[in-house]
Amino acid sequence: MDDIINDFRRELLNLGYSKTVVDNYPKYAQKLLEYTKEIALKITDQHIKNYYEYLKTKPSRITKKTISESHIYSQLLAIKLYFDYLERTKNIKRNPYTLRIKQTSKKERIIFTQEEIQILYKNTQNLEEKTILHLCYGCGLRRNEVELLNLKDVNFEQKLLFIRKGKGKKRRVIPLTEAIVKDLETYFTDTEIIRKETQESFLINIQSNPIRGNTIYKTFKKILQRTQSLNPENYCLHSLRHSIATHLLENEMSIEMVRDFLGHSQLVTTQIYTRINFLKTKLQQ
């Protein structure tokens, strides 16, 4: 990546954007430049429109289907922010970004029932898969929080898990059940034999490298496919986080406690789950 792209990354970091944005948005801007084979100074609005048309037909590296509208929107937003930055820093005289794309409306959240969660657990084939379910469902972690989890973040004795780099740099402490502590401790013991001395990540592969977000996602999809009763197309990894939030509310945990458990900054974000829970109750009546 060139110096200006790296400057853009630093700008995003300084403005307090999430790790995902800081990591990905400069790459999205770079991909536009690679596609057009032009430097930023020579990019026109037509280049960006052509790239938009290309994105609509581009297959996903994971699913092999065309990439989602929300992912296209993220890439275009990155490009817009990049040229906004270049214009603001006087690197270009005129911002070539003129597209007006509406953000796609979010699909209704589909959650697992408590019975379906048990089906998922029954279809795990090893402790690694079960550990991923524990972290994403039982602890309600976001994908990047699972990826960033270190050994020092799990206190077996106190039965606590610490999130030190949550969304918006928010920290939180998550209480662990006896069953989760037992499985996490067993996972830690089993992986000690392959763990390099300097490796601090909690989840590691057989080469002692950290297990990345894409692998976590693929593992979840494999478990889903094994159930044969749950359609993988209907669920994403984040469905596990939505599900634990709803199940905690069903078990009469206060909305304030669920907010703290999930690490939400605003109560209104957590209240989405009260609406999901209400609609679900009405459907069952």
> Quick check: do 3-88 and 114-284 share a fold?
no
User: Which residue has better confidence, 213 or 15?
Assistant: 213
What pLDDT, on the 0 to 100 scale, is given for residue 285?
Answer: 41
4-32 average pLDDT score: 88
59-75 average pLDDT score: 82
- pLDDT over 50 (residue 280): no
110-122 average pLDDT score: 93
What pLDDT, on the 0 to 100 scale, is given for residue 103?
Answer: 65
Question: Model confidence over 193-246: pLDDT tens digits?
Answer: 999 999 999 999 999 999 999 999 999 999 999 998 888 888 888 889 889 988
Sign of CA dihedral 42, 48, 54, 60: positive
What pLDDT, on the 0 to 100 scale, is given for residue 272?
Answer: 63
- pLDDT over 80 (residue 167): no
116-135 average pLDDT score: 96
134-154 average pLDDT score: 94
Mean pLDDT of the chain: 86
- Tell me which architecture the domain covering 3-88 has in CATH: Orthogonal Bundle (1.10)
- pLDDT over 70 (residue 279): no
User: Which residue has better confidence, 280 or 134?
Assistant: 134
CATH class for the region spanning 114-284: mainly alpha
Helix axes 19-36, 45-55, angle to 10 degrees: 110
- pLDDT over 60 (residue 141): yes
- Domain segments of the chain as ranges: 3-88, 114-284
> Would you call 12 exposed, middle or buried from its count of C-beta atoms within 10 A (0-12, 13-18, 19+)?
buried
| pTM strictly above 0.75 | no
